[in-house]
Amino acid sequence: MHTTDAAGPIKPHLPYYFEGYRFTPGHIAVGPHEACIADMHLPLVARVDRRTGEITGPQLLDTPHGAHGNPTALVIDGDFLYSRWNEGLTVFDLGSGEQSTLALPGTHLASGPEGVWTVAPRAGLVRVGSHGIQQSVAIPLFPYCLAGGHEAVWVLSWTDPGAGRIVVSRIDPSSGEVTAACELSGSPQMLFSDRSGIWANVWTEHPACRQITSHLIGLDPRTAEVTSDIELEPTGALGPIVDGVIWLPSADPFDHAARDRLATIRRVSAADGHLLGEVRLEGALGWPVAGPGCLWGRVDRGDTRSVAAIDTRRVGVRYFDLGHLDVTPYLPPPPPAIYAEDMERQIRDRLASSLVGGWVKTDPETGAEVERLPYIRGVHIEEVRLEGTFPETEILVLFRSDEHPGLLFGRRRRIWEDDGALSGAIDVMDVNLMEDVEACGHGLPRHPQPNASGIVWF
């Protein structure tokens, strides 16, 4: 019999991540009259009236075939909300509530002249409307960012990723021709358009010290010539631009030690970098997006359920709590019952197949196998096996390394949590092992010492 606790025997089960789930703000689109907020994990959208503050929803979004979870981008154009999924687009008529989907795999979404624009791998730059594809335009290779404004569509693309060469292209939406372009150097991060101009955020690395700095480069809306170049500090900080002002967090969002300072937003002139003022929020502003005379974003604090709307002209802030919205009808059902022994064998077989099978290089034309590479460079897997019984069952990986001939290394992980839930770490055990050995600078121990059984546990 399995181990018991106060609630009875511990049973194996898959974790159910939606227990007690409430609406959690994700991507936001802002129009002249309302803002639409997508849930962070479900295909739901809530709506906030910008004038009255009334909150409605959530509304279930139709999803393109094969799409799951939440949309990757939202824009409002006229009376329609466009939602981008990797597999296609959803067009939601905000007036009638009618929806349609468009099977157009791709990335990026921007509202621009004559409609909404997106990038599709085979179709190029595509203008879409409420009734489908309106126009296709060839674009430079490796598009990274997209923006619309000043009677043009703007694309920030890699031209030579290895050499760090990029280009900003101004495309006439009527003819589809590139009417101006500006070559830059660095790593593209973001492309902005507002009433005052076009702005590209680029990271550059200084060869001598390898320090990375973030630059906001202003471009002439007609000629695409560089009009300004300011350094943004800290490097990881970035925010939308509204009426020539960039709204920057006061700390690097990736610096966990400085997270208490993220609630302070700095207003900085995008043209010359001068500090214009600061705004203190109730929490860090996550996933911010610009709208007409405003800035919206989710408020990242302990139990995030709110969004903030900043009036960029009066510099006032309103908060909207979306946690009360009822998402119960849209939650996925709990996972089915599982059997420990069956699940353990499946995990062992999958992990062994990944680690022993390695990577397969195929011919892009025929799909035929050309070469098989080891999953981890310089590592040879000897055995993947199970030890113990539920809920303390462990999976063991034994391997040898070219760097340490004659030694046997091992890694072991528990498959189940103490309450019988399947451990989430098991799904990425192969990836974590690879990263620890070759990708993250850790590597195997320099002076490995086997234990009494002759294994170096890593």
Asked if residue 423 belongs to a domain, the reply is yes
Q: Are residues 40 and 80 in the same domain?
A: yes
Query: What is the reported pLDDT for 366?
Result: 82
Asked if residue 317 belongs to a domain, the reply is yes
Low-confidence stretches of the chain (pLDDT < 70) are 1-8, 140-141, 209, 439-442
Residue 245's contacts (CB-CB under 8 Å, 6 or more residues apart) are 267, 268, 269, 270, 276, 312
Tokens of 440: 């993250």
Residue 209's contacts (CB-CB under 8 Å, 6 or more residues apart) are none
Tokens of 81: 């909300």
Q: Are residues 290 and 271 in the same domain?
A: yes
Residue that finishes a domain, picked among 330, 360, 383: 330
Pairwise CA distance, residues 159 & 378, whole Å: 34
Q: Are residues 292 and 251 in the same domain?
A: yes
Q: Are residues 103 and 188 in the same domain?
A: yes
Q: Are residues 132 and 263 in the same domain?
A: yes
User: Could you say which DSSP state residue 21 is in?
Assistant: -
Beta bridge partners of 99: 92
Beta bridge partners of 255: none
Q: Are residues 347 and 220 in the same domain?
A: no
Other beta carbons less than 10 A from residue 161's beta carbon: 13
Q: In a 3-state reduction of DSSP, which class is residue 432?
A: helix
Residue that finishes a domain, picked among 330, 353, 388: 330
The pair phi, psi for residue 328, each rounded to 5°, is: -50, -45
Residues spanned by the domain of 397: 340-457
Which DSSP helix (H) or strand (E) runs through 359? strand 359-362
Asked if residue 7 belongs to a domain, the reply is no
Asked if residue 72 belongs to a domain, the reply is yes
Other beta carbons less than 10 A from residue 341's beta carbon: 13
Q: How far is C-alpha 410 from the geometric centre of its chain's CA atoms?
A: 33
Query: What is the reported pLDDT for 1?
Result: 42
Counted residue by residue, the chain has a size of 458
pTM of the shown model: 0.82
Other beta carbons less than 10 A from residue 105's beta carbon: 16
Q: Are residues 374 and 309 in the same domain?
A: no
Question: How many angstroms separate the first and last alpha carbons of the chain?
Answer: 32
Asked if residue 186 belongs to a domain, the reply is yes
Residue 270 CB burial class (10 angstroms; 0-12, 13-18, ≥19):
buried
Residue that finishes a domain, picked among 330, 353, 373: 330
Which residue type is seen at 129?
Answer: G
Alpha-helix runs per DSSP H in 242-368: 340-357
Assess contact for 69 and 41: CB atoms under 8 A.
yes
User: Could you say which DSSP state residue 191 is in?
Assistant: E
On the question of a cis peptide bond just before residue 391, with omega within 30 degrees of 0, the verdict is yes
Query: What is the reported pLDDT for 301?
Result: 75
The number of folded domains in the chain is 2
Asked if residue 14 belongs to a domain, the reply is no
Residue 7's contacts (CB-CB under 8 Å, 6 or more residues apart) are none
Q: Are strands 408-414 and 455-457 parallel, antiparallel or unpaired?
A: parallel
Residue 229's contacts (CB-CB under 8 Å, 6 or more residues apart) are 215, 216, 217, 218
Query: What is the reported pLDDT for 7?
Result: 56
Q: Are residues 147 and 229 in the same domain?
A: yes
Q: How far is C-alpha 224 from the geometric centre of its chain's CA atoms?
A: 29
Rounded CA Rg of the chain: 26
Pairwise CA distance, residues 6 & 27, whole Å: 42
Angle formed at CA 353 by CA 347 and CA 355, multiple of 5 degrees: 100
User: Could you say which DSSP state residue 423 is in?
Assistant: P
Q: In a 3-state reduction of DSSP, which class is residue 256?
A: helix
Q: Are residues 358 and 394 in the same domain?
A: yes
Beta bridge partners of 278: 266
Which DSSP helix (H) or strand (E) runs through 431? helix 429-434
Asked if residue 17 belongs to a domain, the reply is no
Q: Are residues 317 and 450 in the same domain?
A: no
Q: How far is C-alpha 441 from the geometric centre of its chain's CA atoms?
A: 24
Dihedral angle sign, alpha carbons of residues 53, 297, 22, 31: positive
Q: Are residues 257 and 190 in the same domain?
A: yes
Q: Are residues 321 and 394 in the same domain?
A: no
- Listing DSSP states for 312-347 in one string gives TTTTEEEEEE-TTS--GGGSPPPPPP--HHHHHHHH
CATH of the domain at 270: 2.130.10.10
C-alpha atoms less than 13 angstroms from C-alpha of 98 in its C-beta half-sphere: 5
Asked if residue 1 belongs to a domain, the reply is no
Tokens of 408: 């046997």
Tokens of 432: 């974590």
